[in-house]
Amino acid sequence: MREKIADKKARVLEIIDIFDEVYADADCTLDYTNPLQLLISTQLAAQCTDKRVNIVAKDLYKKYPDVYAFANADELELREDIRSTGFFRNKAKNIIGCCKMLISDYGGEVPEAMDDLLRLPGVGRKTANLVRGDFFKIPGIVVDTHAKRLSNRMGLTTNSDPTKIEFDLLKIVPEEHQTAFCHRLVYHGREYCPAGRPRCGECPIAHLCPKIGVEKRLANRN
């Protein structure tokens, strides 16, 4: 039985109510003090844990304190500085290119607009939405590995493409909850719904998940 958009919206609101209690303190797990650090840390977090990025970032932002330091960095040296985050060659190249464009096109400042952010080397929709949501407080959906996995398991989308998932979630998650909802999906994915063995028996939203409760709820409504 296919769930209607209105039913998904209602279910999401119930999930949000529970998340508000269980993950009241959930926030971005990357450490940063300004939008440039958030932008770079998010790029470093591709195929890497936030915990590892935070360890690397602690010394990285002392060595490269601003956009000009990154733009003028020696690429081989920067590679070594970020090696432990993986894919360090592409990341170093993109970070330097990104900072050079920030200086040449944006006066050394990180822009707010989605189109401007997507012009920057190494910046995709996930990074752009995270920077916009967490620093600039602009609503949006961040589709990381947790959001991709959980939104499918929870029956909120049937898509695997991150951009399609993003737009599916935009239709059913209210604007005022979007940034927090994505952070709470990360916490929930780590705590109850990992890729391997989800802990459905202990999950606080199990009754709202297709694995257990949704089909029964839909049947009762019809």
Catalytic residue chosen out of the listed positions 50, 81, 134, 144: 144
Q: Is 126 in the active site? A: yes
Backbone dihedral angles phi then psi of residue 12, each to the nearest 5 degrees: -60, -40
Residue among 9, 4, 5, 3 nearest 173 (CA):
9
Q: Kind and range of the H or E element at 145?
A: helix 145-153
Q: Where are the beta strands (DSSP E) in the chain?
A: none
Q: Is 8 in the active site? A: no
Q: Check if the beta carbon of residue 44 is closer than 8 Å to that of residue 61.
A: no
Q: Is 48 helix (H, G, I), strand (E, B) or coil?
A: coil
Catalytic residue chosen out of the listed positions 50, 126, 134, 148: 126
Residue among 36, 166, 19, 21 nearest 101 (CA):
36
Give helix 125-134 / helix 178-191 axis angle, nearest 10°. 110
Tell me the catalytic residues: 126, 144
